[in-house]
Chain A
């Protein structure tokens, strides 16, 4: 999940009898699975929550370029280099769709950047973990994109039209990324001893951070209840995490890799795997800025923005000059 712990109104779901007629009509449209479009009336809480969620998702795509971009210059073959470049390019493209979707709600991309750079807006905790070996390019595709898809597939049905349409495009590309990641894992897991070691090490390091991507249990969260009523969120964090574990365990077995959880076992009764929860203290520390790479990741984005100011100003100045020249010609 690229958006974690998105705060809603904090007041829980308003009972129908307390809703204004506008709010009732809005909720009826949501319940009838109609899409809400940017010019439609919407409650302020819906707008704000969506801005938080979509911008957090967009920021995750942008910051997410960095841990993988890290390996483009070291990709081991020309084909792998091309695939990784294409993938990172896709992520930047996802960021672009999502920023555009958020802009329809009345916030500019520059404002969203400002919130990211100041630390006010968050991005997914997973991108604060380092990519240390080539196998991490496999693990990121397999596990991180796998977890993201788990969240994003239901979001294709989300109530806000532009977000839903962005998700449909993004999901197509993400599932391709996941297959590419698994393909790298297969090459590594069935390769030399050193490659197998890299593959297992990558799984060891990315397993729990991937489980954290779904966020802490939110079965009692007022924020999640409201988001679910608005169909901005479709499933609980626990449902998605369980689905991810159930899907991933057999994939790891096929690779001959061991999931780093001694208590992981199939539960006949529930029809799901029992597994150990990630260390939620670590998760909250990462959100606070204490992950292994928080400073580098955000620092890189801030530096790119600040050092690029002259570039953006140059383009704007040229556009103004060109417009003035056109106006002068037209006046003649």
Chain B
């Protein structure tokens, strides 16, 4: 029997970084390499909105007030629209003839590139709101940076999406403040939601080789560059909401490289079922 490797998987981000670093040596490969990085970068954007849009849409008809049913459906709708644009462009960049639908419905878990944060279960309404707030507070600065992308197609999508996302952030900020500084129960629920989801926020700011390539070409910002603004904004809102920022900076990661939590498989099983069960059918 051969000796088995150590059970502890090396850090996925570090591994991807090593791989990407090893690939930069030959200048003649820059174009395909850049295309691969761009494809990855676009999947990361589109998969975030695809999976979070899915999660938010699970609330449809079950929200605590009618106005929230409307707002959540609207938010999910925006995110699905953004997914169509990001994954549509990803398919174009890949050049293999895959459409946005092919990418959304026919990739398995290991090919998905969303943050772990967005696949976390909805929990109570407070947990859903907190997840949305922490994501929106990252999403808007990300889109603002993308509006300055050297790739015009990306800048255009980011401009359109940023209008929607600035509203998402305004709404989630407002609700986090009001519920954090509401009743004792609403405060406790929001704090518990924050503590629970916090270790999934760090992944937003950890770059790898693909990010480095994209940043060098001025196509996308490095994840690290978004940290300061996010920290400042989140701190200010949490203060106003009388919530305590959790200590510690441990970050679960791997989603952006395709190593996910157990939850994503169930999301895909539900989302992709018709496409998988009836291959080739037109809907």
A residues in contact (CB < 8 Å) with B: 62, 65-66, 69, 72-82, 85-86, 88-89, 92-93, 95-96, 99, 109, 134, 184, 187, 191-192, 194-195, 300, 303-305, 307-319, 321
A137 to B239, CA, bound (A): 45
27 A-B pairs in the complex with CB atoms less than 8 angstroms apart: A65-B61, A72-B58, A74-B271, A76-B281, A78-B80, A78-B84, A78-B87, A79-B84, A86-B77, A88-B61, A89-B73, A89-B77, A92-B70, A96-B67, A184-B283, A191-B283, A192-B281, A308-B63, A311-B68, A311-B179, A311-B186, A313-B186, A314-B182, A315-B178, A315-B182, A318-B182, A319-B178
A76 touches B275 (CB 8 A): yes
Please tell me if B17 contacts chain A, counting CB pairs below 8 Å: no
Closest Cβ–Cβ distance, residue B30 to chain A (whole Å)? 32
- With both beta carbons as reference points, the residue of chain B lying nearest to A61 in the complex is identified as B66
With a CB–CB cut-off of 8 A, which chain B residues contact A93? 70
B80 touches A69 (CB 8 A): no
A69 to B124, CA, bound (A): 18
A69 touches B278 (CB 8 A): no
Please tell me if B195 contacts chain A, counting CB pairs below 8 Å: no
A138 to B192, CA, bound (A): 41
- Interface secondary structure of B, over-half rule: helix
A78 touches B83 (CB 8 A): yes
With a CB–CB cut-off of 8 A, which chain A residues contact B83? 78
A96 touches B65 (CB 8 A): no
A78-B80, A311-B186, A317-B182 known; A194-B281 Cβ under 8 A: yes
A195 touches B281 (CB 8 A): yes
B186 touches A310 (CB 8 A): yes
A73-B271, A307-B124 known; A315-B179 Cβ under 8 A: yes
A82-B81, A89-B74, A317-B186 known; A74-B65 Cβ under 8 A: no
A49 to B124, CA, bound (A): 38
A195-B281, A314-B186 known; A72-B81 Cβ under 8 A: no
With a CB–CB cut-off of 8 A, which chain A residues contact B2? none
With a CB–CB cut-off of 8 A, which chain B residues contact A313? 182-183, 185-186
A194 to B87, CA, bound (A): 29
B125 touches A77 (CB 8 A): no
Closest Cβ–Cβ distance, residue B186 to chain A (whole Å)? 3
With a CB–CB cut-off of 8 A, which chain A residues contact B177? 318
A76 to B270, CA, bound (A): 10
- With both beta carbons as reference points, the residue of chain A lying nearest to B175 in the complex is identified as A315
A74-B271, A77-B105 given; name 8 further pairs at CB < 8 Å: A72-B60, A76-B281, A77-B101, A78-B87, A312-B65, A313-B186, A315-B182, A319-B178
Top-7 shortest CB links A-B: A308-B64, A314-B186, A314-B182, A65-B61, A89-B73, A69-B60, A76-B283
B residues in contact (CB < 8 Å) with A: 54, 57-58, 60-70, 73-74, 76-77, 80-81, 83-84, 87, 100-101, 104-105, 124-126, 177-179, 181-183, 185-187, 189, 270-271, 273-275, 278, 280-283
B60 touches A88 (CB 8 A): yes
Among B66, B84, B186, the most chain A Cβ lie within 10 Å of the Cβ of B66
A76-B283, A93-B70 known; A308-B65 Cβ under 8 A: yes
- With both beta carbons as reference points, the residue of chain A lying nearest to B46 in the complex is identified as A78
A2 to B64, CA, bound (A): 23
- With both beta carbons as reference points, the residue of chain B lying nearest to A309 in the complex is identified as B64
A74-B273, A77-B101, A191-B281 known; A318-B179 Cβ under 8 A: yes
Among B68, B275, B283, the most chain A Cβ lie within 10 Å of the Cβ of B283
A330 to B204, CA, bound (A): 43
A89 to B68, CA, bound (A): 10
Among A184, A303, A317, the most chain B Cβ lie within 10 Å of the Cβ of A317
Closest Cβ–Cβ distance, residue A322 to chain B (whole Å)? 8
With a CB–CB cut-off of 8 A, which chain A residues contact B76? 72, 85
B61 touches A76 (CB 8 A): no
With a CB–CB cut-off of 8 A, which chain B residues contact A65? 60-61, 69
- With both beta carbons as reference points, the residue of chain A lying nearest to B178 in the complex is identified as A318
Among A78, A92, A134, A308, the most chain B Cβ lie within 10 Å of the Cβ of A78
Among A85, A184, A307, the most chain B Cβ lie within 10 Å of the Cβ of A85
Closest Cβ–Cβ distance, residue A39 to chain B (whole Å)? 25
- With both beta carbons as reference points, the residue of chain B lying nearest to A303 in the complex is identified as B62
A74 touches B270 (CB 8 A): yes
Among A80, A82, A194, the most chain B Cβ lie within 10 Å of the Cβ of A82
A187 to B283, CA, bound (A): 6
- With both beta carbons as reference points, the residue of chain A lying nearest to B70 in the complex is identified as A92
Among A88, A93, A96, A318, the most chain B Cβ lie within 10 Å of the Cβ of A318
B125 touches A311 (CB 8 A): yes
Closest Cβ–Cβ distance, residue A216 to chain B (whole Å)? 29
A73 touches B183 (CB 8 A): no
With a CB–CB cut-off of 8 A, which chain B residues contact A308? 63-65, 125
- With both beta carbons as reference points, the residue of chain B lying nearest to A86 in the complex is identified as B77
Closest Cβ–Cβ distance, residue A73 to chain B (whole Å)? 5
A69-B61, A195-B278 known; A82-B84 Cβ under 8 A: yes
- With both beta carbons as reference points, the residue of chain A lying nearest to B279 in the complex is identified as A192
Closest Cβ–Cβ distance, residue A184 to chain B (whole Å)? 8
A73-B270, A308-B125, A313-B182 known; A80-B60 Cβ under 8 A: no
A85 to B69, CA, bound (A): 11
Among B76, B181, B275, the most chain A Cβ lie within 10 Å of the Cβ of B76
A78-B104, A318-B182 known; A134-B66 Cβ under 8 A: no
